């Protein structure tokens, strides 16, 4: 039986990360509800290049990664603007994972461009707590 434990978070930003289907969004929603925080969800359905990326990764990697980068920048901007009104923000993804995927998906020239764009956006999530959740393979 689950036990409810009082939770007091001093941090302003929490990121939850883990493999697909492990329950990141569910945990983020419950945590945000519990502490009255702002919920920030990953929105892959809003990336117009993602479907084409799965069909032809090499040709579509750069627009896909840049679209995610701009999405994150917009989310960070909203977090920074709403900091005055919300004590805590909770995301169901780690902003830094975009850099990992860009390293894996982009060629050298594309990666250099991606890094230049990212630097110009000055994305600074100031994550204070990371929660990484996973399931043992036998739990799937």
State how far Cα 1 lies from the chain centre: 30
- In terms of residues, how long is the chain? 140
Distance CA 134, CA 123 (A): 27
Helix, strand counts (H, E) of the chain: 5, 4
Distance CA 47, CA 111 (A): 19
Strand partners, 38: 89
Of 33, 83, 92, 124, the active-site residue reads: 92
- Known catalytic membership, residue 92: yes
Inter-residue contact 39 to 25 (CB < 8 Å): no
Using alpha carbons only, what angle is made at residue 71 by residues 23 and 113, rounded to the nearest 5 degrees? 120
Active site residues: 92
């Amino acid at each position: 039986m689950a036990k409810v434990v009082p939770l007091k978070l001093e941090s302003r930003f929490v990121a939850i990360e883990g493999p697909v289907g492990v329950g990141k969004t569910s945990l983020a929603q419950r945590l945000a509800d519990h502490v009255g925080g702002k919920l920030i969800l990953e929105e892959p359905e809003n990336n117009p290049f993602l479907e084409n990326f799965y069909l032809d990764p090499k040709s579509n990697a750069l627009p896909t990664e840049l679209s995610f980068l701009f999405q994150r920048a917009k989310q960070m901007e909203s977090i920074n603007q709403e900091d005055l009104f919300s004590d805590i923000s909770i995301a169901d993804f780690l902003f830094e994972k975009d850099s990992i995927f860009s390293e894996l998906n982009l060629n050298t020239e594309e990666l250099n461009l991606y890094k230049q764009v990212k630097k110009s956006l000055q994305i600074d999530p100031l994550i204070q707590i990371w929660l990484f959740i996973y399931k043992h393979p036998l739990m799937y």
